[in-house]
Amino acid sequence: MTAALAAESVVREFGDGDSAVRAVNEVTLSISPGEFVALVGRSGSGKTTLLNLLAGLDRPSSGKVWFEGRELSQMPERDLVGLRRDRIGFVFQSFGLIPLLSAFENVELPLHIAGMSWRDRRRRANEALDLVGLTGRSGHRPYELSGGEQQRVAIARALVADPSVLFADEPTGELDSVTGQTIGGIMRDIGASRGVTVVTATHDLLLADMADRRLQMADGSIASVDGAP
């Protein structure tokens, strides 16, 4: 089976010469389709940088990254944009919702930009909102929703294009522990029910404990692995 994501001897340095900082240091890993993986570690450990490399948002200084068997460094920017649009979903700590749009409009916006018909946009946006339990709140704007509800809208928006991989950077960072567990449960269930690969960078150990595998990062390297290989 082809790995959903893989990295071989990946290094990412910022700066030049003696002032260069190595944020990711010789990381090699493989993530299976449908697996839920948590990257954990202190601030500055390299987990967000590694997440960005796996998602094709950044390119390694050396080493290779594969997405579903395709080496990202060999792909032109146009193809990377298409990959991020069609195969990848993103969730961030700050939610990133547009304040003047309703929950429904925020979710269907990526499909609108992609040129999908109104009928298909409506169907898929409603399905995504139902998946995160927010059908009854679809007409509400972000300021009318709780933090947890806003993050659920962000997850629905990330899933509406039916991606194969969901990347989440500190998705529970602005939420209380109970709400954070709810968000973690949604991401875990999405992986189990839809076969979506989920990779999250997080300080939240409750969220990390829900993952199939936890990769502990320190000084840019994977220091330890908890869970099935």
Residue written as tokens 């602005």?
A: 174
pTM over 0.75: yes
User: Could you write out the DSSP letters of every residue in 173-215?
Assistant: TTS-HHHHHHHHHHHHHHHHHH--EEEEEES-HHHHHHSSEEE
Residue written as tokens 């200084």?
A: 61
Share of the chain above pLDDT 70, in %: 98
All domains in the chain, ordered by first residue: 36-45+76-227 (3.40.50.300)
Among the residues of 28-170, which ranges form H helices?
Answer: 47-54, 77-86, 103-113, 118-131, 147-159
Tens of pLDDT, residues 193-229: 888 999 999 999 999 999 999 999 999 999 877 865 5
Mean pLDDT for the stretch of residues 171-181: 88
For residues 208 and 40, is the Cβ–Cβ distance under 8 A?
yes
Confidence of residue 9 (pLDDT cuts 50, 70, 90): very high
